[in-house]
Structure 1
Amino acid sequence: MSLRPPSAGASAAEAAFDALGHEILAEKAAALGRAGQRVEETLKKLRENDDDKEQRPRLLKDAAEAVHAYFIQRELCGLRKHEAVIREYDIPRAVLVRLGAK
């Protein structure tokens, strides 16, 4: 992580807060990336085992949990609209229905 030097009028406390703010943003972004990766993994397993009637309920549950966690992390980052992400990840309707979406 790189830090910029404090501005001439900034106090040491303001400079420390700014550094902390940058670190928090970096962690939010990393957590969002991890959550997105989990969505990809669970959706891949769901698609690969689409014909397996025994495993499908568990795979749907896992995918729905991963997508829900991802949506929450996006919202924590200030990203409130999920339509583009739903299209990008091609999240199946069966998963979205489990989240209460139509």
Structure 2
Amino acid sequence: MSVRMPTNFGRSGAQESALDLLGHEILAEKAAALGRAGQRVEETLAKLRGGGEGEHRNLLLKEAAAAVHAYFIQRELCGLRKHDAVIREYDIPRAVLVRLGAS
């Protein structure tokens, strides 16, 4: 014989579906934010590769480092902790990574 919990204990079906919809909405927003952050990384790295000398290059490096840092944080918020594949995929220059504290 199995025992079933009374239906007035725990969540109702309506509460579960509302939480499920909210969870999907949160996941969709996380994914969209990650996509926007990745696009910003691509744009700043393209500007950096486009060239520049002296002070202009330093500004481009600073901008690219800020974009990569924001992207890494967004990835970690999504539960993606390892960045090695992303570094290779985006071909992030060592000068940018050094500004983030990588050695």
What band does the TM-score fall into relative to the shorter chain?
Answer: 0.7 to 0.9
For 2:81, the equivalent position in structure 1 comes to 80
Match of 2:54, SS state, is: coil
Pick the structure with greater CA Rg. Answer: 2
1:66-87 residue CA offsets vs partner (Å, 9 max, x unmatched): 0000000000000000000000
For 1:94, the equivalent position in structure 2 comes to 95
Count matched residues: 93
Instruction: Quote how far apart the aligned CAs of 1:54 are.
Output: 2.8
Question: For structure 1, which runs of at least 5 residues remain unmatched after alignment?
Answer: 1-8
* Alpha-carbon RMSD: 1.3
- 2:17 counterpart letter in structure 1: A
With normalisation by structure 2, the TM-score equals 0.86
- 2:88 counterpart letter in structure 1: R
Percent identical residues: 78
With normalisation by structure 1, the TM-score equals 0.87
Question: For structure 2, which runs of at least 5 residues remain unmatched after alignment?
Answer: 1-10
